[in-house]
Amino acid sequence: MFSFDVVPGKIVKGILESSAPAIVELVEDAYLRHDDGRTVNPDSYFLRFPDRPDSRIIALPAAAELADTEIAGIKWIASFPGNVSAGLPRASAVLVLNDLDTGYPIALLEAAGISAARTAASAAVAARAIARHLPPSGTIGIVGAGVIARTILRFLHLTGYPSTDVVVHDLDDESAGRLADFAVVDLGVRARRGDLDAVLDCQTVVTATTALRPYIDRPLRDGQLVLNVSLRDFTPEVVLGATNVLDDVEHCMKANTSPHLAEQLTGNRDFVHGTIAQFVRGERVPEAGRGVLVSPFGLGVLDLAVGAYVLDSARRDGTAIAIPEFFGETSRW
């Protein structure tokens, strides 16, 4: 009852790297459970810094009734883009999981990898659902060549989404080159660096940047799919011209995301066509003559689903580190 485990990043990474298809299924299931009202997913909480407007630390609390267990928890994730210039990853995170019978914490997991994996899996879930209506051509353009972009590309490839030609653009040319090399060497696909227009020419586009405000005003083409993971790359006019798919409408309409800016411009949410869960279930389909813009704000319940899977795997493998007597008092008197 009072056990407490720690799962270090190296262990987390190994489990995630061998489990991409399973994680995609877990994330899809979590979306459907969220759509069915079997989760609690309050707003994310942002700790911001007046002298560092591009940096933040975010708390994502959540609870979920998963297939095998009920669990609660919170992800505490820092995004400091300035780390990149020092050769450090932009994001760092931990995930605390809680038992829902007692409320006691049961584990602490290094969670930057978990966060990247659940983000990539959400993109793969959406891409798979949209592909039923917009057949992928195999050309994938990526804006922003960091960990998230690398993980998304890997998940798309490993789950069978066509990816024969990849074009990468990043303001840092070295990063773009490294992601292109990863695609060639690790995934065995053709890849090259390109400018923004070359990326936007692709049938499937992934934006994974740290942009604070929109800079892309080029409309989506009919038959084009954009996975708008970084959320702030497209002007509201582009949003209004697309079929818009969100993970959770209420969550996405804040923090000046591209859909939020479109809401501010129009005063309504009529431009939202449905959620990822509704497209997975076939309850919504893309509008004829429009490209599809998927904007996933990111739900804490996805972190719980992936985190619980990682914890169970680590416990089975004997790689979770038990912390004896973690709790100072285990009886009331």
Share of the chain above pLDDT 90, in %: 92
How far apart, in whole angstroms, are the C-alpha atoms of residue 268 and residue 24? 32
Question: Would you state the pLDDT for residue 236?
Answer: 98
pLDDT of residue 60: 96
Instruction: Give me the domains of the chain, ranges plus CATH numbers.
Output: 5-114+300-322 (3.30.1780.10), 133-295 (3.40.50.720)
Q: Is the dihedral of CA 190, 191, 197, 202 positive or negative?
A: positive
HEC-encoded secondary structure of the chain: CCCCEEECHHHHHHHHHCCHHHHHHHHHHHHHHHHCCCEECCCCEEEEECCEEEEEEEEEEEEEECCCCEEEEEEEEEECHHHHHHCCCCEEEEEEEEECCCCCEEEEEECHHHHHHHHHHHHHHHHHHHHCCCCCCCEEEEECCCHHHHHHHHHHHHCCCCCCEEEEECCCHHHHHHHHHHHHHCCCCEEEECCHHHHHCCCEEEECCCCCCCCECCCCCCCCEEEECCCCCECHHHHHCCEEEECCHHHHCCCCCHHHHHHHHHCCCCCEEEEHHHHHCCCCCCCCCCCEEEECCCCHHHHHHHHHHHHHHHHHHCCCEECCCCCCCCCCC
| pLDDT(1) > 80 | no
Give CA–CA dist 53/139, Å, rounded. Answer: 35
Work out whether the CA dihedral 174, 176, 182, 185 comes out positive or negative.
negative
Q: Please, which pLDDT band fits residue 87 given cuts at 50, 70 and 90?
A: confident
Tens of pLDDT, residue by residue over 120-170, are 999 999 999 999 999 999 999 999 999 999 999 999 999 999 999 999 999
Band (68; pLDDT cuts 50, 70, 90): confident
pTM: 0.94
Longest dimension (CA), the chain: 69
Residue written as tokens 């899809």?
Answer: 28
pLDDT tens digits for range 289-299: 999 999 999 99
In the predicted model, what is the mean pLDDT of the chain?
96
The closest of 144, 146, 186, 145 to 163, measured between CA atoms, is 186
Is 329 a residue whose pLDDT tops 90? no
**Token pair in block for residue 275:** 């959620």
